Amino acid sequence: MGLVSELDYNKGRCFLDVHVEKEEPKISAPPASRRPASKPFCRPTLLGGETDRGVAKPQEEGPCKPRHDPLAPGKYTDIQYTLSLSSHTHIKLHILTHFKHTILIISLMVCVGAIVMPRPSTNHQWAYNKAGLPLVDVVVDPYLTTHLRPHQRDGLLFLYECVMGMRYGAILADEMGLGKTLQSVALTWTLLKQGPYGGKPVAKLVLVVAPGSLVQNWGAEFKKWLGRVGSTTVTTLLGVRWMIHVQKLEFGLVICDEGHRLKNSSIKTSSALSGLSCTRRVILTGTPVQNDLQEFYAIIEFVNPGILGSSAAYRKVYEEPILRSRQPICTEEERVLGEERAAELSRLTGLFILRRTQEIINRYLPPRLDWTVFCSPSPLQRELYQALLSHRVIRACLQGSTQTHTHLACITALKKLCNHPGLLYSTGSLYEGLRGVFPESYSSGGFSTADSGKLLVLSDLLTTIHHRSPTDRVVLVSNYTQTLDLLQDLCVHLGYTYCRLDGNTPTIQRQRLVDNFNSPHSAHFLFLLSSKAGGVGLNLIGASHLVLYDIDWNPANDIQAMSRVWRDGQKKTVHIYRLLTAGTIEERIFQRQVSKQGLSGTVVDLGKGAEHTSFSSNELRDLFSLTDTPCLTHDLLHCSCRQKHLSMSELMQWRHFAGHTHTFRDAYLDHARTHISFAFQSTISHTTQ
């Protein structure tokens, strides 16, 4: 029927009936104090008056006035390092420079003035102001404005443009710690109290959807930020039949926290929310791309139905070419096509996804040292691992068994063994025949630190921290309640004081535990935390060390857990230790994490994940094996670094340390080096930006 250009084919545009172009909203300055002598002729609007290039006439002439002063001068504050300046930020001519530790620091006196939302364009007025109401500037409450950092001010403007129809539905995909909650509170309060047409509020009711464990935290956040500026009612809706009540109400805005949980459009929550008549939808998630691109499509479809076509078309046009291009065995043609489709998907989604990484707040935080530590398995672990690999159930998996639950059971068994052999000792029929491998004196009622390589490293690490830095505190994180029980036994055995938060902790006690631990007067040395217990308010800045004892298939869970101590308010240098048992399934999971993070970088953080090393399908599936090597991951990089600093991939940019004989550049980790076979180390610091 016609010719298709090579560009349209490579981008995939010819396969979809969706043509999305970005509308740049006209952001005008606050009304001037005086008007020009004459104005050019412009077409009339529904207001019955004149406009200057689509911008409403100054509000002094209208019957309505803004709720807050758009010309407020603001307050001068001292901000160091790089600044993200926008049209509503002014720099006072007061620049001080001085040298500190050979690093040049620039101190700027910045005036944080009023945040005036973009005025609607002429087209927007025709579409949304049928009654011809006068235009009124929407000005963010000054109390909230003074608490917003530059990136949060920009995020608030972005959200406002999206929900007001100037763009599309919004996904705020900032990484954890950048203030998604505060931006959401500011947006909610603004829409509940103001609007551009006649000053009427945009929304009468706002629905915030969050996991049950986080509902109370959201209530606390609204009270924290809005308690001083006015009264607001926060109603908690819980229970099986909560949606029956919700569907009877008319909401002006819906905010979905932990929005990546809507990854499947067929689940009840997604179906119920999609049925709401409210079109102003905001998703909050620090991990828009988790396991695959089909889940990414599900959350996009929620905020912008039909924007990427049908699910089948999306899979054919974008998902399959992108995934093929990331395989090591792909052809050059497949690689080029996949990169083009990824770039187009990134362009389309970039119109309604705002993604800022934690780099944006690094300048406000102390340095952070990340260690990925490969621990040598104990002799008992190695012997049991070999026995498990020879077990009839695992052999059946390797021979092509299609019983998924059996595969998961085998994987869980290997992961438990990596944590400690005692976790397998009293289990059921799957491990039949393993009892003979354990020593005759072995008892399920106790445990030996020497039986687990990771537990040996952890024990030495805690001893050193407690001895060298008595005022420092540590967060211990695990995916499993059974492993937390083991770590709790270790605390009792070593005489360390601790508190614990997991899925069984009552919601009402969560914040109390966190506040008590963060208090300078806390008597607890350790905080035992389940990696599944996340969300708003769980900021453990009372600790400056965090140990991730085991690894999760989903890198987002580990990243969220590791960021708990490196948040606003942290004053000390932060040490993060991720423990893996060398040569085991944990290394394969770590490799898969690298691959998944690369997928996220391909689409959401375009360019940031391009250098991540890809592993072949056979390497990723090679779960049921034990490799006698100090670090299989390092072997797969084909690196002959000898502690040199290379930049072939993200892992190659980290420092490499062989264990046993070499000294680590970490006084706490050095004490445990006899049980460590290899380690990667990375430093995050504002002084390197």
- Minimum mean pLDDT range among 206-210, 281-285, 563-567, 620-624: 620-624
CATH of the domain at 680: 3.40.50.300
Q: Give me the amino acid identity at 489.
A: D
CA 580 to CA 589: how far, in whole Å? 10
Place of tokens 């969220």: 560
Residue 499: phi, psi to the nearest 5? -135, 165
Which of 217-226, 464-473, 578-587 is predicted with the least confidence, judged by mean pLDDT?
217-226
Domain assignment present for residue 114? The answer is no
Which residue type does 557 have?
Answer: N
Task: Give the chain's domain count.
Answer: 1
Q: List the structure tokens of 432.
A: 């039949």
- How confident is the model at residue 20, as a pLDDT? 55
Average pLDDT over residues 561-575: 87
Q: Measuring CA to CA, how many Å separate 210 from each of 183, 236, 386, 535, 579?
A: 16, 10, 44, 9, 31
| DSSP output for 112-138 | E---BPPPPPHHHHHHH-TT-PPB---
Query: Does 449 fall in a domain?
Result: yes
Say whether pLDDT at 163 is over 80.
yes
Whose structure tokens read 């608490």?
147
Q: What is the pLDDT of residue 661?
A: 57
| 201-215, 378-392, 566-580, 620-634 — most confident range | 566-580
Does residue 371 contact residue 679 with C-beta atoms inside 8 Å? yes
- Examine residue 500 and state whether it is found in any structural domain, yes or no: yes
- Is the residue at 110 inside a domain? no
**Structure letter (DSSP) for residue 652:** H
Task: Collect contacts of 338-342 with beta carbons under 8 A, ≥24 apart.
Answer: 340/10, 340/11, 340/12, 341/10, 341/11, 341/12, 341/317, 342/318, 342/602, 342/603, 342/606
Give domain status of residue 471, yes or no. yes
Mean pLDDT for the stretch of residues 155-163: 94
- Is 676:375 a contact under the CB 8 Å cutoff? yes
Per the domain annotation, does 96 fall within a domain? no
The Cα–Cα gap between 288 and 296 comes to 6
Backbone angles phi, psi at 441, to 5 degrees: -85, 0
* Token output for 214: 């986080």
Quick: pLDDT tens for 102-145: 333 333 334 457 899 999 888 888 888 988 999 999 999 998 99
* pLDDT above 80 for 555: no
Which residue has 């260690």 as its token pair?
371
Q: How far apart are the first and last CA of the chain?
A: 54
Specify the pLDDT at position 265: 54
Of these ranges, 8-22, 31-45, 595-609, the one predicted with the greatest mean pLDDT is 8-22
> pLDDT band at residue 152, thresholds of 50, 70 and 90?
very high
**Cβ–Cβ < 8 Å for 186, 179:** no
Question: Would you say residue 158 has pLDDT above 90?
Answer: yes
Q: What is the pLDDT of residue 601?
A: 55
* Boundaries of domain holding 440: 362-688
Domain-located, residue 91: no
Distance CA 380, CA 345 (A): 49
Mean pLDDT, rounded, of the chain? 75
Assess if residue 664 is contained within a domain: yes
